[in-house]
Amino acid sequence: MRKSNSLRSRSTFGGRSRTAKFTVASCALSIALVTGCGAEDRDDVLKGFQLQLPPCPTENLTFSGQTSAPGINLAMSFTAPTSCVEKYLQDHHVDLSRPLYWPASGWDVIGDHTFPPTEPPFEPENMKQFKLKLDPNKQYKKYVGFRTPKDAEFTVLLVPVGEMTSLYMESDLAGRVGRAD
């Protein structure tokens, strides 16, 4: 009995079995591959995209992104006064007189894929991050072409909230993000 306890204590380290240690190491490696070496904080990612938050107070900020390959991306949302959101969009080359709408008025065809009018406006992981549940019986303004000085482009969706507007944005093109200028 004593011998098996001795063997057992040698096969575990710090209370973890070899399987548990392997699982932890595998997860750490997976995270490093997906997020790059070291997670980037919000300020670093915004700086990498040459993007600032609007100058007015914001609420309910959500954020995810990275500026290094693979997967240069940025998804962000916040709620702010409507006039501030509109100014923010104009400052980033958005023509407010030319909105698209969600849901779309008809089916879209891009290449070999046909999209229904209620196709979610963002990638599934960003829809979850935003906790965005849209009513297909309402119409929401959507804009493309929101650009940063690094030529990154975003799709933007606006959801009115009384006197405020919630802005949801997802990068479409990375432009020169990740490259030194």
**Average pLDDT value for the chain:** 80
Specify if 55 maps to a domain.
yes
Q: Answer yes or no: is pLDDT of 74 > 70.
A: yes
Note whether 54 and 84 are within 8 A (CB).
yes
Specify if 2 maps to a domain.
no
One-letter amino acid at 9 equals S
Task: State the distance between the two ends of the chain, measured CA to CA, in whole angstroms.
Answer: 67
DSSP character at residue 97: T
* pLDDT band, residue 65 (cuts 50/70/90): very high
Specify if 95 maps to a domain.
yes
Q: What is the pLDDT of residue 109?
A: 62
The better pLDDT of the pair 35, 147 is held by 147
Range of the domain at 105: 36-173
Q: Answer yes or no: is pLDDT of 134 > 90.
A: yes
Q: What is the pLDDT of residue 85?
A: 98
Q: For residue 101, which of 131, 62, 144, 130 has the smallest C-alpha distance?
A: 144
Q: What is the pLDDT of residue 104?
A: 80
Q: How many CA atoms lie within 13 A of 122 on its CB side?
A: 28
Q: What is the pLDDT of residue 119?
A: 85
The total domain count for the chain is 1
Specify if 41 maps to a domain.
yes
Q: What is the pLDDT of residue 181?
A: 61
Q: What is the pLDDT of residue 39?
A: 63
Specify if 105 maps to a domain.
yes
Find the helix or strand (DSSP H, E) in which 138 lies: none
Specify if 140 maps to a domain.
yes
Average pLDDT over residues 158-177: 94
Q: What is the pLDDT of residue 77?
A: 97
Share of the chain above pLDDT 90, in %: 60
Note whether 177 and 66 are within 8 A (CB).
no
How far, rounded to the nearest angstrom, does the alpha carbon of residue 133 sit from its chain's CA centroid?
16
Q: Which residues contact 162 (CB under 8 A, 6 or more apart)?
A: none
d(CA 131, CA 168): 11
Specify if 180 maps to a domain.
no
Specify if 31 maps to a domain.
no
Q: Answer yes or no: is pLDDT of 121 > 70.
A: yes
The better pLDDT of the pair 179, 127 is held by 127
The better pLDDT of the pair 171, 69 is held by 171
Q: Is 72 exposed, middle or buried (0-12, 13-18, 19+ CB in 10 A)?
A: buried
Q: What is the pLDDT of residue 110?
A: 63
* pLDDT band, residue 179 (cuts 50/70/90): confident
Report helix, strand or coil for 87: helix
d(CA 117, CA 36): 35
Q: What is the pLDDT of residue 108?
A: 63
